[in-house]
Structure 1
């Protein structure tokens, strides 16, 4: 998959099949669109194009500074590539770009730059300045400028009944299993292993401290989760704690992973940690001994979960 950092970077003599949107989470609700895009591309011999935006439009137009996203752009690109998409355009979203009229967007972007043969889009998609144009306008422009519009029907959308907002809400409540059902894959966090205070080593639970790659990435509710990661080509199982470590008077949020039966030096490594199941919320214990006892129970519960699920 080729990645372009703006619409202006993209150029092709071949016609394209296009879809556009934020695709945050690349979840089950997006699957139908992406599969239609891939299949239509194969049938017509055209290149497939996903046009997405960064920052998220809500961050720009609604000043949603606190908005957390399900994917970093690198994570989103990884997920889209799994669908066999030919081209991903990540266009910088700005107030200036948002002021393009619907016809300017169609004429200059879809036709002039992307060489669109067909656009595949949700029935409720709105676009153009102040989002005043809808699917009927797009169909009318398609007839005028010579491209086809295939819409994802309300029935198809309602059958899936999944949205990025629903997934964010589930994660904020720590409902990782619910979020994973919506996503169609385990929610994951990407970050670098950094040196921590190494308190875990003193009680037999050494951890890898994870520093997030991007600060806009949504971190699930505080608690302990069964987790896994691919390290040097091998799946390693473990458990992750997200929280402030109140038992040892911690005050700042940390993300720590204890891997089972693992003793490799991974400081500085970039890891993608999958979260599979929430074991419990974070709590303050009477002391380090009580914390250690609970961690032993958590480890057994994690191993039992992995055994039952075949991971």
Structure 2
């Protein structure tokens, strides 16, 4: 898959089939739309294009909203590539871009720049300045300018909207079962291993501190999770704590992973941590001995969970 960081970077002499949206999570609700995109592209011989925007429009138009997203842009790109999309355009969203009229967006971007021959869009999609244009307007413009419009059913659009909201709410509440069910894959975070206070090492549970640089990435509810990561081509299992470490009077939230049967130096490595099962909420223990006893149980519960999944 080719990635373009602005619409102006892209060109296609042979025509394209295009869909656009935020695609946050690239979850089950997006599948029908992406399947149509890929299928139509193969049938008609057009390159497939997903047009998305960053920052997220709400980040620009509602700067105080503290928007949290299911994917970083790198994570979203990887998921779309797995679907088989040919081209991903990540166009910078700005106040200036938001004032582009629907007619100019269609003529200058979809037709002239992207060479769109077919557009797949939700039945209630609105676009252009102040979101005044509808899919009916797009169909009319397509008839005038020579491109086809395929509208996704109301049910499919609702699946996308409802799923995204439910996934975010579920993760905020620590309901990983619901979130992963709607996603169709284990929710994951991507971050760099940094040096922590190394307290875990002193009690027999060394941890990798995970730094997630993107402040907009949704971090699930505080607690302990059974997780996995692929490190140097090998799947490694472990348990992860998201929280403030109240037993040792911590104040800042950290993300720490204890990998089982693993002792390699991974400081500075970028890891993808998949969250499979939430074990418990974070809690304060009377001392390090009590914490150590609970960690032994957490490890046992994690191993039992993974054994049951095999």
TM-score normalised per structure 2: 0.98
Q: Indicate conservation of the 8 Å contact 2:192/2:269, yes or no.
A: yes
Where does structure 1 differ by over 2 angstroms across 4 or more consecutive aligned residues? Answer: 155-163
Q: Indicate conservation of the 8 Å contact 2:118/2:148, yes or no.
A: yes
Paired residue for 1:34?
Answer: 34
Mapped partners of 2:62, 2:158: distance in 1: 27
Mapped partners of 1:56, 1:160: distance in 2: 16
Deviation at 1:216, TM superposition (A): 1.4
Q: Indicate conservation of the 8 Å contact 1:19/1:49, yes or no.
A: yes
Q: Indicate conservation of the 8 Å contact 1:162/1:182, yes or no.
A: no
Q: Indicate conservation of the 8 Å contact 2:30/2:160, yes or no.
A: no
Deviation at 1:161, TM superposition (A): 7.0
Is 1:247 the equivalent of 2:240?
no
Mapped partners of 2:183, 2:25: distance in 1: 7
User: Where in structure 2 are the equivalents of 1:100-119 lying within 5 Å?
Assistant: 100-119=100-119
Deviation at 1:105, TM superposition (A): 0.6
Mapped partners of 2:212, 2:149: distance in 1: 39
Q: Kindly report the root-mean-square deviation, in angstroms, between the aligned alpha carbons of the 2 structures.
A: 1.1
Paired residue for 1:273?
Answer: 273
SS of aligned partner of 2:228: strand
Alpha-carbon displacement from aligned partner over 1:153-193 (angstroms, at most 9, x marks no partner): 01334467743222111111111121111111111010111
Paired residue for 1:224?
Answer: 224
Paired residue for 1:71?
Answer: 71
TM-score normalised per structure 1: 0.97
SS of aligned partner of 1:70: coil
Mapped partners of 2:301, 2:162: distance in 1: 30
Deviation at 1:135, TM superposition (A): 1.1
Q: Indicate conservation of the 8 Å contact 2:52/2:90, yes or no.
A: yes
Mapped partners of 1:131, 1:160: distance in 2: 19
User: Where in structure 2 are the equivalents of 1:1-311 lying within 5 Å?
Assistant: 1-158=1-158, 162-310=162-310
Mapped partners of 1:160, 1:217: distance in 2: 19
Structure 2, unaligned runs of 5 or more: none
SS of aligned partner of 1:13: coil
Structure 1, unaligned runs of 5 or more: none
Deviation at 1:14, TM superposition (A): 1.2
Alpha-carbon displacement from aligned partner over 1:90-136 (angstroms, at most 9, x marks no partner): 00000110111111111011101000000001111110110011111
Mapped partners of 1:68, 1:115: distance in 2: 33
SS of aligned partner of 1:291: helix
SS of aligned partner of 1:121: strand
Alpha-carbon displacement from aligned partner over 1:215-249 (angstroms, at most 9, x marks no partner): 21110010000000000000000010000000000
Q: Indicate conservation of the 8 Å contact 1:123/1:154, yes or no.
A: yes
Mapped partners of 1:276, 1:39: distance in 2: 31
SS of aligned partner of 1:112: helix
Mapped partners of 1:169, 1:142: distance in 2: 38
Q: Indicate conservation of the 8 Å contact 2:29/2:156, yes or no.
A: no
